[in-house]
Structure 1
Amino acid sequence: MNIMFHCLRLQPNPRNEMVHMDDIHQKNTQYWRNYWDEITSKTIRYGPMNATFWDSMSKRFVRNRTPERESDRFNGFFNLIKTTGLDIDGAYVLDIGAGTGSLSIPLAKMGAKVTSLDFSEGMLNNLKQRAETENVKIDNIIQRSWDEVDLDAEGFREKFDLVIASMTPAVHNPQTFDRMMGASKKLCYYSGWVNRRWDNAYYDLYRELFNSEFQTGNHGIYIPFMYLYLQGYHPEIILKKDTWRNESTVDEMADTIASHFYSTSTIEPDIKSKIKGYLIHNGENGKYCETSCSTSAMMVWDKLKK
């Protein structure tokens, strides 16, 4: 799909006619919206787009969670939110794709009235257990896909002071992005990949098994950022580079890799055994250490200000 943006060539106008920039913004936004729609319509609902994927990953999330990692993530998030002047104590917050509660729980501890939403039962079970263990009250926990949420039926339209979509595939197209903004009466926060280098196993195995290159999904920051910019928003944005290592059993890692491969190819019965063979060869004592490098971006904006 070719994208054509409307530009203006400013020339002296003896009649001092006004240039209607709103029309230009609307047309450009619609072009970009159509582009985003086209990309996502061609994307097969691969592993991370399915609740069962996150159900199977939930135990690994809990095991690999460390206080240092969680504190680092929350502090980066909170420092950006502080620039808006929002008082968290008493604020109504919606956390879309809340997962195990890495943002929901510390926000609730600070006095926010948090609604945590996720389509994975496994992830939300971990959130509930953690909230109980840490004696934290989450106002509302909802197991549902964000695609299926009706803002008016739920009473969510412009209800929340802050709506969060942090590193989640839940907000993946213009419809789900608009729904996120529709739930906010003021602030929105979004984070996604700038780029990501997955563990070598993904690239090596996909090349060996399917004779083509492993392709990642389109969950990133570029398209949402441009969508906002073309509407006249100028979000505050912070970039961050990370390298992390997670250890898993060979069986767990094989399941994770296979679920990603289902995104673009049909898995034959012997594929998983070949994946395990690679992991055993490159692992140690039945374990495999996964290493990933990424640059991510987080942005926050006030929907009332352009």
Structure 2
Amino acid sequence: MDITSFEQLWVEKHEDSYRDADPSCWDNRVQEFNRNKPDERINLITDFLLQKRMLTKASTVLDIGCGPGKFALEFAKTAQYVIGVDIAPKMIQAARENSSKQRFSNVEFVELDWQKVDLAALEWSKKFDLITAIMSPAINNKENLDKMIQASKGYCLICHFLERFDSVGDELQKHVFGQKKEDKYGNRGLYCLFNILWLAKLYPEIHYVSSDRQVNRTVEEAYHHYVNRFRARTELTPTEKSLIKDFLEEKSTAGLINERIRSKMAFVYWKNS
């Protein structure tokens, strides 16, 4: 297979694909993403970047799909300067508030749709020492990957789940939508982008991280979590929302939903030549 074959495979719709860019889907999740709770992924990814010398005191960093800015702000503790971009205005607002509270002076947050970004107009061509896209749907085709490469004068890192098993979420999805079809590629996007990078002689590397954690939510928190999570991929009918609510109420114990989440993440990283 050549680059064109992987480019075409990447954009074929899979039932687990995100819908076309819709800021409201992510604005609806700002409270969930911005909760003041520990996220082991922040330290895992930051420590990895530091260990690999991809993040240094001299680094200029771009974080694509920055959400409320948690990764960007952690990077800013080391880097010279960090820019976080996100399509969702409420995410950017939360990121700016978080930055202000922590008194950062070397980070900025910009509302921006990566699919429409004009690198020349922003003077971002070969601007950044490190570009990250962490659990971000923004890098969803070769064109958007190419823009990431074009903006980098050093390293790039893309992180996504290869596997994820949610003890409650998987059962709920089956209950509402029927049996989920497995992606035979594990993660189609990662599979395609890795091969595109390989064929382009950028020779990416992969690092795997496994996680096993417990998450506790009230029924109401769980309801909003799953409604917003499913809405990122498909529009929900009133009947489907009702099924979600009834399922969670039945699953709850003392008003809480206790969920075990087991996952394997892949860090795909490379240096632009």
* Pairing 1:35–2:9 present: yes
Q: Corresponding residue for 1:205?
A: 172
* Per-residue Cα deviation, 1:78-108 (whole angstroms, up to 9, x for no partner): 323x1xxx56223221111112223211222
Stretch of structure 1 that moved more, 172-181 or 123-132: 123-132
Deviation at 1:35, TM superposition (A): 2.2
Q: Corresponding residue for 1:46?
A: 19
Stretch of structure 1 that moved more, 210-219 or 176-185: 210-219
Distance between the aligned counterparts of 2:132 and 2:157, measured in 1?
Answer: 5
* Structure 2 gap segments, 5+ residues each: none
* Pairing 1:58–2:26 present: no
Structure 1 contact 192–219 (Cα < 8 Å) conserved: no
* Per-residue Cα deviation, 1:82-136 (whole angstroms, up to 9, x for no partner): 1xxx562232211111122232112222242111101122322232222122211
Stretch of structure 1 that moved more, 88-97 or 28-37: 28-37
Deviation at 1:235, TM superposition (A): 2.0
Cα gap change, 1:189/1:206 in structure 2, threshold over 3 Å: closer, same or farther? closer
Structure 1 contact 70–102 (Cα < 8 Å) conserved: yes
Q: 3-state DSSP class of the match of 1:301?
A: strand
Q: Corresponding residue for 2:245?
A: 276
Write the letter of the residue equivalent to 1:62.
N
Distance between the aligned counterparts of 1:297 and 1:75, measured in 2?
Answer: 15
Stretch of structure 1 that moved more, 209-218 or 171-180: 209-218
Kindly report which structure 2 residues correspond to 1:177-216, keeping only aligned pairs within 5 A, or say none: 177-197=145-165, 199-213=166-180
Structure 2 contact 212–262 (Cα < 8 Å) conserved: yes
Deviation at 1:53, TM superposition (A): 2.7
* Structure 1 gap segments, 5+ residues each: 6-27
Provide the TM-score with structure 1 as the length reference.
0.78
Which of 110, 114, 122 is the aligned partner of 2:82? Answer: 114
Distance between the aligned counterparts of 1:62 and 1:277, measured in 2?
Answer: 27
Aligned residues: 271
Which of 134, 141, 144 is the aligned partner of 2:102? Answer: 134
* Per-residue Cα deviation, 1:132-165 (whole angstroms, up to 9, x for no partner): 2221124431112211111111111111111111
Structure whose alpha-carbon radius of gyration is higher: 1
Kindly report which structure 2 residues correspond to 1:1-306, keeping only aligned pairs within 5 A, or say none: 5=1, 28-37=2-11, 39-40=12-13, 45-46=18-19, 50-63=22-35, 65-66=37-38, 70-80=42-52, 82=53, 86=54, 88-197=56-165, 199-213=166-180, 220-262=189-231, 267-304=236-273
Write the letter of the residue equivalent to 2:60.
Y
Distance between the aligned counterparts of 1:187 and 1:108, measured in 2?
Answer: 16
Provide the TM-score with structure 2 as the length reference.
0.86
Cα gap change, 1:78/1:120 in structure 2, threshold over 3 Å: closer, same or farther? farther
Structure 2 contact 133–158 (Cα < 8 Å) conserved: yes
Distance between the aligned counterparts of 1:282 and 1:122, measured in 2?
Answer: 31
Q: 3-state DSSP class of the match of 2:168?
A: helix
Structure 2 contact 55–130 (Cα < 8 Å) conserved: no
Stretch of structure 1 that moved more, 163-172 or 60-69: 60-69
Q: 3-state DSSP class of the match of 2:155?
A: strand
Distance between the aligned counterparts of 2:234 and 2:67, measured in 1?
Answer: 27
Stretch of structure 1 that moved more, 112-121 or 262-271: 262-271
